[in-house]
Amino acid sequence: MASLPKRIIKETERLVSDPVPGITAQPHEDNLRYFQVTIEGPQQSPYESGVFELELFLPDDYPMEAPKVRFLTKIYHPNIDRLGRICLDVLKTNWSPALQIRTVLLSIQALLASPNPNDPLANDVAEDWIKNEEAAIEKAREWTRLYAKPK
């Protein structure tokens, strides 16, 4: 494999030495661009009782291109679809090379705290969310209990 750019080495070191509270990111030994990630559900959100698994990959053009991230834990959220794909501006059009793995993961944690049903990826979930927010939040809580690891 081609040698790893300095920027990625630096970011990885800092993720380990100075971790973000509630977030872990660990590169796979056989592919240092591929990270196993966990994010704790934010307090006062329907996800607060769970820890969610994700995977992150830094493409060849990183940091000119955004990291690719996906949830591996099933989650009921209007901006995350059934395959774990995430609808988040910083992963798409608002990506900038000034952002980092850590800022991306923080943005995802923030997305869990404030779902945005008006810019949905999972249309059926967003519809439920708009029609009956209370019931949707209850379902999100239930899925967290069913599929996420307990904190």
Q: Does 98 bind other proteins (CB under 8 A)?
A: no
- Which of 39, 66, 69, 87 is the catalytic position? 87
Tokens 């307990």: give the residue: 150
Of 14-22, 41-49, 56-64, 109-117, the window that binds other proteins (rule: CB under 8 A) is 56-64
Of 17-25, 64-72, 91-99, 117-125, the window that binds other proteins (rule: CB under 8 A) is 64-72
3-state secondary structure 53-98: EEEEECCCCCCCCCCEEEECCCCCECCECCCCEECCHHHCCCCCCC
Instruction: Write out the two tokens for 136.
Output: 């949707």
Q: CB-based contacts of 125: which residues, under 8 Å, 6+ apart?
A: 76, 77, 78, 117, 136
58 vs 140, beta carbon nearer other proteins: 58
- Selected from 9, 10, 31, 110, the binder of other proteins by CB under 8 A is 31
Q: Is 87 a catalytic residue?
A: yes
Instruction: For the chain, give the longest Cα–Cα distance.
Output: 51
Interface residue list for other proteins (CB under 8 A): 1-2, 31, 33-34, 55, 57-60, 68, 70, 72, 74, 82-85
* Residues labelled as active-site residues: 87
